[in-house]
Amino acid sequence: MKKHLLCLVLGGLTACQPGYHLTKRTATLTTVDSMTATSDKNVAKFLVPYREGVDKKMNEVLAKSTARIEKKQPDGPLNDLLCDALLQQASLRYGKPIDCSHLNYGGIRSNLPEGNITVGSVFEVMPFDNQLVILTVTGTMLQQLLDHFAKGDKLVIGGLRAVVKNEKVQSVTFANGRTLQPNETYTVALSDYVADGGDYAGFLKNAVQRETLTYLIRDALLDYFRKQGQTGQPITPVSDGRVTVE
């Protein structure tokens, strides 16, 4: 009897609970103007050691350049330098030679200055946390990759020379003297963004093999420039004409 009474009381209490529903909604726009807003002195003081630490890291000089290093279409000093740096560091990390490297032209976000090349300079050039990926592809797929990025003069490569005509790559010669053969396989160092199909390169998802090196492309570039600085020799910007448009 007590059990049934308890259930009846609980059921009655539950049934008496009012339902809730939204009856009104308002919104207020708050504008924050960095030019007129006053800073909080306590917060600013708290952030000082963190800001100093970041500034110290970003201002570290890695290497020096004799002139400004710029990206250009269809080929430029920065295009060549970054792809060569990526190819060198990728091969070291991979433990064996890699046939070629590729960077997304739009992913190169800035140029490198004349004089000191700092950690901050490299972050400005490559701000994204893209992982370095090694794809093994057939010659046919590599041709497709080259043709895809040759459109609009956006082909940024290392380890090979290419002749482009009517936005199609007509001939390819690798640094080791090999030529591109449809049925042979080749290794390509590139970003996970492109390997995942970014920039409409979805066909790369069908690569023969994919290996992620757990190595940020930006870190590869930092390591490269740091090594260049240790040689004591400045970097002289040069474009070797590896991409020729007829």
Q: Kindly report, residue by residue over 170-197, the tens digit of the pLDDT.
A: 999 999 899 999 999 999 999 999 999 9
Query: What's the confidence (pLDDT) of residue 52?
Result: 67
Domain that holds residue 78: 63-245
**DSSP symbol at 219:** H
Is 92 inside any structural domain?
Answer: yes
Is 158 inside any structural domain?
Answer: yes
Is 8 inside any structural domain?
Answer: no
Is 216 inside any structural domain?
Answer: yes
Query: Looking at per-residue confidence, does 2 or 79 come out higher?
Result: 79
Domain containing 97 — which CATH number?
3.90.780.10
Q: Which residue has the tokens 């600013």?
A: 44
Is 77 inside any structural domain?
Answer: yes
Q: What is the pLDDT of residues 58-82, one digit of tens each?
A: 999 999 999 999 999 999 999 999 9
Is 68 inside any structural domain?
Answer: yes
Is 106 inside any structural domain?
Answer: yes
Number of domains in the chain: 1
The contacts of residue 161 (CB under 8 Å, 6+ apart) are 172, 173, 241, 242, 243, 244
Is 73 inside any structural domain?
Answer: yes
The model's pTM = 0.80
Alpha-carbon gap, residue 103 to 125, rounded angstroms: 12
Residue 31 has pLDDT above 90, yes or no: no
Any alpha helices (H) in the chain, and if so which ranges?
2-16, 41-58, 77-94, 119-125, 139-150, 192-195, 217-230
